[in-house]
Amino acid sequence: FRHMLHSSPSPPKLKMTSSTAPALCILLSLIAACPFTAALSHGPTTNNHQLSRRDALIGAASTAVVNVLILSTPTDSAVAAPLEADTVDLAAFNAARSSSSSSAPPRSTPSIMGTTNNKKIRHTINPFFDPAPLLPIRGGKNGKSNVQIPRVGYSLYKTPPEQAARCTSLALRCGIRHFDVGTLYNSNSEVAKPLKLYLDNGFTGLKKGYYKDESEELLEILDATSMASEQHAVQTIGYGSKSISPPIDGSAGRRARREQLFISHKLSNEEQSTDIVTVKRHIKNAIAELGVGYLDLVSIHSPLTNKERRLTTFRALLELRDAGFVRTVGVCNYGIGPLQEIAEMVGGEDHLENFPAINQLELSPFNQHEDVVRYCDGNGIAVGCSAYSKLSGVNGPAEGWAVLADLAKAKGMTKAQLLVRWSLQKGYVCLPRSGSASKVERVAIAENSYGGVNLYLKDDSGGGILPFTLSEEDMKILDGLDVGYKAGKLGRRDGWGDDDVVGPEWDPTDIV
């Protein structure tokens, strides 16, 4: 297997059809049950009753699995509307749009979104113990279709710009395709560098530009995590994902590689405007800077401006969506008040197609925003979780954090993995982050990915294979930690600054 992993010129490809999917699932189940395969999959055991997930990941680094990639269904591209005559850098923008045949986003799959006319509101938040890697959210022209968003991504929040390119390259290597970027993160130009190499030439380009300086151990960990993601995704085919062969390296695979990526960009408060053309200019500049042809999701970073700027900005994003520059639109840190503003602007609940597709919140077991989540769920708005790094700091919920730490230790997970797993099983989209300055940080990129939180673990006591899931009792423990821990107390700054925070009980979702 190690020889195949390192020597094969290209990974084996598996063409999936509706008739072969059940057979493959049965085959994978039999393979997983094989003692020889289990030993390869879970690495060497120790004398401990239960091996830690981090050790399991390192032990699995030489494992080879069926190389099948999960992504949204690629279809014909839509034609984008003509570019308005504004002050965007036309040369850079048009270069990004014409860099491949996939300059416009793929037409999304038909929507299963119901309407209030027949009382069939689609609930986007569906708790499940083993969710598929992709979540369908509303998008496409007029919001009538579905866009598939990867449930676990990688956020560039707090990542120093000088580390952003390396972090992005490592995230790509371990199977991450969802990147959370934003104007306030000041790293789009750096993120664009590995993305261009990947889009133009696949991993061949990245090997020359980045991986040649990484340790063999780290690369094996990243590869093992990517393969764990692919293997687990195949097992969830029955939950609605579609599997196809991964794109080939070189320019011929560029379109497929772009369709696998999900680039989510956040518009800063300063970029919100009462002028629609100005908002569009900012988004087109972001497309040009990132060099990705179009954006999969654009969100308003926070509601901390005023009603007129918020609504004009959102209207501009809807126009960009319908013109083909953006696949879907969302918001961040929105409470019920600003969400209801949008509902009123677009015509109420009879026009759910123009509601935000997702609302990214500072959401954790310690601040679960139950009222906002309930509103989002009832109106077809998916919920995303932000990075969790501040929870472990001096301003974090010390008592509850100790409970979480004990549970993580008992489960053989890191605390960050436990939080990612909790958010997945709650039905949310999760965007963990990590830097690249230390080995621990670099490994954490893999640990907190979809593959990293779906590893299986061999129980050394002879009890068999332990799934990487939280039990109903585990979820109850975590859900019981909710104390409404506000952003003002936590000290996090993501879409707002020190001047916006008026006290420890301040929270962006409380804006009326």
The whole-number mean pLDDT for each consecutive block of 10 residues of the chain, a chain of 512 residues, reads: 32 45 46 37 38 61 40 36 50 64 55 38 82 93 92 94 97 96 96 96 90 93 92 69 60 88 97 97 97 97 96 98 97 97 93 95 93 95 78 68 92 91 96 92 95 76 66 96 84 79 84 80
Q: Which of 389, 449, 420, 422 is nearest to 177 (CA)?
A: 449
What is the reported pLDDT for 71?
35
How far is the C-alpha of 489 from the C-alpha of 470, rounded, in Å?
28
How far is the C-alpha of 6 from the C-alpha of 11, rounded, in Å?
10
Residues sharing a CB contact under 8 Å with residue 12, sequence separation 6 or more, in sequence order? 66, 67
Q: 101 — alpha (psi -120 to 50), left (phi > 0) or beta?
A: alpha
Contact 264, 153 (CB under 8 A): yes
Residue matched to tokens 């560098």 = 193
What is the reported pLDDT for 465?
58
How far is the C-alpha of 380 from the C-alpha of 317, rounded, in Å?
18
Question: For residue 18, how many other CB atoms are within 10 A of its CB?
Answer: 7
Type of residue numbered 94: N
Question: For residue 486, how many other CB atoms are within 10 A of its CB?
Answer: 19
pTM for the complete prediction?
Answer: 0.80
Element (H, E) at 262: strand 262-267
Residues sharing a CB contact under 8 Å with residue 182, sequence separation 6 or more, in sequence order? 156, 157, 265, 266, 267, 268, 301
Written as six digits, the tokens of 167 are 């972090």
What is the reported pLDDT for 494?
79
How far is the C-alpha of 254 from the C-alpha of 476, rounded, in Å?
44
Rg (CA), the chain: 22
